[in-house]
């Protein structure tokens, strides 16, 4: 993680009925298929996993013993404890699939899906709840066969009916992003027998990611939902019953949550789970602000911390428990895509319709001074939406990328065809206010119709000032936003910082009642349908993730080019073109990212020597060393 303000959080994902041609198979045959590589049977491909662009090069065969990056012999026991101070540190719900209330962190820990991704592969998904996957070459439908013995935490078996119920209720009553996107990919679903369910895909949907979309839906117990007597979209502190390795423990609303490892978890012995889910409990402590959260760590109120403040990382880790070795402080390399943390414009507001206004405002954020003076030079700037990957647009568009963009000429900014992708030019690191940038920003604003009045404030033809409110929750970001506000005021923009509590922040973001706030654009290595939620017209009003409210026909066409790409080369070309166009629209002021995970933890946590490339997995496959834990107890630390 990295320096960030208090922010709201939401959970989403998406995913569909006719008679199958795969005959009912006996248990012996199904077990044999599960141990074999993918094969064709009765014109269906039957396999243990799927990959975006074909299953020929899957990393793990059907009979793999465990994931390569785990310790399969890791002991079970102990507690992982961490803190949360975003969104004002509050929660009032354990239901992450509704926009009612504020959902607790990790509230989706109870649920599993048909398929599971891994931290060492891109675009590969392996059977979890399912035993096999069967589909025709055109991927027009998929049949999942449930594993024998798969059960919910209340001991009842998972049935295809539960899978159907989960799909239908998310489609009809789930988060707006589910309701908007599920029908785009999935037409229908039907139960075939007591172990099989079939999803039929919308023939107009992209081929890539269809199976993963259906296989990624969380599965809930239909019986427990009916017994609760609640509407699905009600906020609740009694979670839906799922099948995951953890169940709810002690909950103090707004203060803490404890998740307990289910000793009877049905999937303990699955190869994909060996060496994982090792903690007997996971505890999350909530704090009103980041300062109190750090003090809680030094006092031992929680035992693992992923630092997101460069100021803390540079100056605050000098307390006795660190120097004595009770606490370990590490920088762990993580070669992942930058999260896209940015100041995001609300394009729904008329004053931000002109891209020259947005560019002028961006020019007055001095990242170089901020990084040198406030961040101790620890961060790198963000330019691309796919920063730190091979998907970043570079140079002037040419070849296949230019050919893809050419039909959009006249619909997208002309600079896309003539210039390298937009990058905010660097500012003077030795002074907060860069006069060169200020002159350029003032010229852009004058071109856009904003001229200085007698009081020095910029005004439009109607005499209105250019008001810009930065909305933020929590004090951590004040030192970053305040200099930015002063720079903007110096060129005549009526800028201000408004600090609100977490509940107000969440509500105002949901209602699109803001000028600028900080949010993230978490892209993937194989971007797909989620792009519609972040940048598509369909998501401008329906998705919690299209914070900017971007709704542009040219962008929509590029999104579909990415989503519908059937080869890796076509997908990468379309992604670079999309990156180029999004940057041309100046919908955000990019902030910064950190290539290392800054972590500090009490010296009884352990992790494998070789970590996977796409995550450090401290909640997934770390464990507690019993001897080291006892030593800390003997010292009176625990």
How many C-beta neighbours within 10 Å does residue 551 have?
17
Section 30-48 average pLDDT = 61
pTM of the model: 0.80
CATH numeric code, 342-593: 3.10.105.10
In angstroms, rounded to a whole number, what is the distance separating the alpha carbons of residues 217 and 111? 9
Is residue 26's pLDDT more than 60? no
Question: Could you tell me which residue, 23 or 45, shows the higher pLDDT?
Answer: 45
At residue 243, the pLDDT reads: 98
Structure tokens at 525: 């290595």
Percent share of the chain, pLDDT over 70? 93
Classify each residue of 60-94 as buried b or exposed e, where b means 16 or more C-beta atoms within 10 Å of its C-beta.
bebebebbebbbeebeeebbbbbbbbbbbbbbebb
Q: Where are the beta strands (DSSP E) in 311-444?
A: 327-333, 342-345, 380-381
Report which of 52, 202, 219 is spatially closest to residue 144, judged by C-alpha positions: 219
Percent share of the chain, pLDDT over 90? 78
Does domain 1-76+83-293 fall under CATH 3.40.190.10? My reply is yes
Q: Contact, 556 vs 582, CB < 8 A?
A: no
Question: Could you tell me which residue, 91 or 90, shows the higher pLDDT?
Answer: 91
Is residue 17's pLDDT more than 90? no
Distances from the Cα of 423 to the Cαs of 381, 418, 426, 582, 591, in angstroms?
A: 10, 14, 9, 12, 12
Question: Could you tell me which residue, 368 or 30, shows the higher pLDDT?
Answer: 368
Determine if residue 501 is left, alpha or beta; phi over 0 gives left, psi from -120 to 50 gives alpha, anything else beta.
beta
Is residue 7's pLDDT more than 60? no
Q: DSSP letters along 119-166, please?
A: TT-SSEEEESSEEEEEE-TT-SEEEEEEPTT-B-TTSPBP-HHHHHHH
Report which of 173, 355, 218, 296 is spatially closest to residue 602, judged by C-alpha positions: 296
Is residue 15's pLDDT more than 50? no
Q: Contact, 31 vs 497, CB < 8 A?
A: no
Per the DSSP assignment, residues forming a β-bridge with 258 are 283
Is residue 193's pLDDT more than 90? yes
Average pLDDT, the chain: 90
Q: Domain ranges in the chain?
A: 1-76+83-293, 342-593
Structure tokens at 546: 């299209």
Section 32-42 average pLDDT = 47
At residue 381, the pLDDT reads: 94
In angstroms, rounded to a whole number, what is the distance separating the alpha carbons of residues 520 and 518? 7
In which band, very low, low, confident or very high, does the pLDDT at 528 lie, cut at 50, 70 and 90?
confident
Section 515-526 average pLDDT = 94
In which band, very low, low, confident or very high, does the pLDDT at 36 lie, cut at 50, 70 and 90?
very low
3-state secondary structure of 39: strand
Q: What is the CA radius of gyration of the chain?
A: 25
- The tens digit of pLDDT for each residue in 535-586 reads 999 878 767 789 999 999 999 999 999 998 989 999 999 999 999 999 999 9
Structure tokens at 520: 């993230």
């Amino acid at each position: 993680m990295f320096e960030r303000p208090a922010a709201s959080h939401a959970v989403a994902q998406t995913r569909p009925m006719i008679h199958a041609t795969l005959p009912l198979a006996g248990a012996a045959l199904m077990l044999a298929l599960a141990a074999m590589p993918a094969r064709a049977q009765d014109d269906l491909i039957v396999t243990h996993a799927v990959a975006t662009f074909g299953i020929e090069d899957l990393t793990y065969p059907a009979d793999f013993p465990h994931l390569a990056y785990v310790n399969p012999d890791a002991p079970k026991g102990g507690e992982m404890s961490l803190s949360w101070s975003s969104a004002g540190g509050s929660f009032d719900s354990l239901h992450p699939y509704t926009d009612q209330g504020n959902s607790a962190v990790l509230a989706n820990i109870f649920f599993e899906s048909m398929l599971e991704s891994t931290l060492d592969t891109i675009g590969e998904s392996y059977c979890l709840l399912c035993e096999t996957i069967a589909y025709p070459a055109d991927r027009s439908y998929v049949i999942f066969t449930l594993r024998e013995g798969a059960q919910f935490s209340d001991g009842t078996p998972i049935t295809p009916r539960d899978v159907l119920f989960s799909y239908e209720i998310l489609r009809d009553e789930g988060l707006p992003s589910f309701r908007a996107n599920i029908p785009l990919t999935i037409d229908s679903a039907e139960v075939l027998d007591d172990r099989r369910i079939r999803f039929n895909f919308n023939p107009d949907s992209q081929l890539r990611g269809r199976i993963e979309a259906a296989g990624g839906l969380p599965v809930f117990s239909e019986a427990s939902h009916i017994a609760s007597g609640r509407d699905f979209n009600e906020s609740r502190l009694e979670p839906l019953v799922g099948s995951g390795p953890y169940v709810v423990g002690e909950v103090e609303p707004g203060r803490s949550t404890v998740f307990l490892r289910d000793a009877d978890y049905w999937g303990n012995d699955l190869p994909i789970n060996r060496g994982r889910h090792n903690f007997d409990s996971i505890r999350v402590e909530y704090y009103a602000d980041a300062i109190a959260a750090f003090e809680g760590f030094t006092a031992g109120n929680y035992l693992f911390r992923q630092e997101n403040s460069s100021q803390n990382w540079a100056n605050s880790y000098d307390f006795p428990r660190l120097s004595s070795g009770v606490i370990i402080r590490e920088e762990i390399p993580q070669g992942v895509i930058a999260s896209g943390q940015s100041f995001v414009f609300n394009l729904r507001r008329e004053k931000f319709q002109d891209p020259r206004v947005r560019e002028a405002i961006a020019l007055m954020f001095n990242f170089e001074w901020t990084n040198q003076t406030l961040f101790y030079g620890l961060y790198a700037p963000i330019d691309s939406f796919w920063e730190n990957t091979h998907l970043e647009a570079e140079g002037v568009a040419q070849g296949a990328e230019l050919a893809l963009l050419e039909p959009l000429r006249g619909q997208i900014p002309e600079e896309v065809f003539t210039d390298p992708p937009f990058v905010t030019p660097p500012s003077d690191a030795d002074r907060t206010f860069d006069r060169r940038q200020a002159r350029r920003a003032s010229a852009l604003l004058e071109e856009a119709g904003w001229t200085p009045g007698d009081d020095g404030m910029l005004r439009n033809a109607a005499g209105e000032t250019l008001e810009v409110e930065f909305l933020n929750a929590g004090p951590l970001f004040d030192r970053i936003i305040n200099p930015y506000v002063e720079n903007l005021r110096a060129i005549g923009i009526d800028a201000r910082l408004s600090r609100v509590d977490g509940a107000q922040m969440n509500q105002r973001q949901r209602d699109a009642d803001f000028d600028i706030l900080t949010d993230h654009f978490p892209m993937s290595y194989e971007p797909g349908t989620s792009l519609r939620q972040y940048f598509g017209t369909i998501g401008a009003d329906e998705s919690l993730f299209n914070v900017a409210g971007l709704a542009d026909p040219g962008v929509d066409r590029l999104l579909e080019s990415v989503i519908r790409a059937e080869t890796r080369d076509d997908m990468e070309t379309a992604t670079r073109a999309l990156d180029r166009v999004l940057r041309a629209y100046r919908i955000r002021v990019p902030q910064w990212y950190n290539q290392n995970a800054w972590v500090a933890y009490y010296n009884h946590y352990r992790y494998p020597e070789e970590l996977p490339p796409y995550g450090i997995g401290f909640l997934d496959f770390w464990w507690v060393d019993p001897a080291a834990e006892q030593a800390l107890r003997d010292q009176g630390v625990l």
